[in-house]
Amino acid sequence: MEEIEKRMQGKLNRRKEQNALRQLYLPNVSASKAEDKTRWIDFCSNDYLGFSKNEQIKKAVEQQVKEADLGSTGSRLISGNSWKAEKLEERVAAFHLAEAALLFNSGYNANLGVLSSVPTRLDTIIYDQLSHASIREGIQLSMAKSFSFRHNDVEHLKQKLDKASGNIFVVVESIYSMDGDEAPLQEIIEVITEYPAVLIVDEAHGTGVIGTNGVGLVQEQGLEKEVWARIVTFGKAIGGHGAMVLGNPTLKSYLINFSRSFIYTTALPAHSLAVIDAAYDILESSDAVEQLKHKICLFKEHLSSSAKKRFINSRSAIQSLLVGGNTESKQLASRLQESGFDVKAILHPTVPKGEERLRICLHSYNSSHEIIALADCINKVLENG
């Protein structure tokens, strides 16, 4: 016991020395003066459309779950399946122009479930080097041969394809969670058609943000028939929890039979299903996505020319300001927080060393005044050094 504790403390001490120790903070509350309950303006959450706070969604959910059980009581293969879950899968599949959809408890579980069960040790997985941890861990569990390619570098992807064997799975994110930029899907598809390869796209940060009514990058570009599988998640712009894998009926049936993160987990309860269903109602009928696009443009318009050069090019809700260095990034975040803006520093090892940054998330509910004030504050802080 003592040896285990000593080893753990040693690793924690090294994180402290690197100024990279992770801690839990109350959302939108000053970390240094939490007792004051100093509220910050939210520029860090993934609640891009404000659906987690949406009163219309709350009322719709209350109506749907009045008589529902609190829990689902088991996995979907035992007692946790319901007509509501199956109807929701049909609805989301239709919205995203997919043949079939399968509900998972989170985007993490969905990525893990697909990549750990479909590729075999005879196959090859090629993934963008900035892919999410859930993608990387699914790849590790698959036992397939794997290669990463430089971020959004299609020529480098082609080099890796030439080394691949067996069935080839190429995995990218539509919108990258730490950079906010997008995958060159059309170029990737043109390259992989020369190989026995299929494309898997994680739409976690594209769903509800990109395209008409937030259909995602794949549909915006009319590529749904060219993409073998998509993962749409509900814990970000949709404001709830869970995810679905979109694909064909064969993939759905296979995952039900072989995906361990689907088979061996308790199903989502009725409340979670109702949130997703009500959120899609609002997604289809409101102008929240257009409001968000306007706020993104407004923010970028009010950045100074020198500040713009520090940002990664992005039309998504994620705007990343490159700083470099854990200490420098935390100091810059602290200066913005002192002005009332809840902006978080993203540190190494979450991002590559030297690419530490501030990850600014814009929302449809951020007022024009708040967005302009944030841009002005960034301009001032960067100008003054």
Query: Is residue 302 flagged as an active site residue?
Result: no
Local structure of 266: helix, strand or coil: coil
Whether 167 is a known active-site residue: answer no
Active site residue 132: yes
Q: Which of 96, 145, 160, 205 is catalytic?
A: 205
Within 13 Å, how many C-alpha atoms sit on residue 350's CB side? 19
Choose the catalytic residue: 54, 82, 132, 181: 132
Active site residue 181: no
For residues 309, 315, 320, 322, the Cα torsion angle rounded to the nearest 10 degrees is -20
Catalytic choice (236, 271, 293, 295)? 236
* Tokens representing residue 225 in the block: 């028939």
Pairwise CA distance, residues 355 & 212, whole Å? 32
Catalytic residue among 47, 123, 173, 355: 173
Burial tier of 294 (Cβ tally within 10 Å: 0-12, 13-18, 19+): middle
| Amino acid, single-letter form, for residue 115 | L
Q: Is 96 part of the annotated catalytic residue set?
A: no
In the set 47, 128, 202, 370, the catalytic residue is: 202
Q: List, as one string, the DSSP characters of 7-67.
A: HHHHHHHHHHHTT-------TTB-STTGGGT-B-EE-S-S-TT-GGG-HHHHHHHHHHTTT
* 200, 171 Cβ separation under 8 angstroms: yes
3-state SS, residue 243: strand
Q: In angstroms, how far is the first alpha carbon of the chain from the final one?
A: 48
Cα separation of 125 and 142, whole Å?
Answer: 9
Active site residue 202: yes
Catalytic hit among 30, 46, 52, 364: 46
**DSSP structure class, residue 74:** S
Catalytic residue among 30, 54, 109, 177: 177
For the question of residue 46 being annotated catalytic, the response is: yes
- Please identify every residue annotated as catalytic: 46, 132, 173, 177, 202, 205, 236
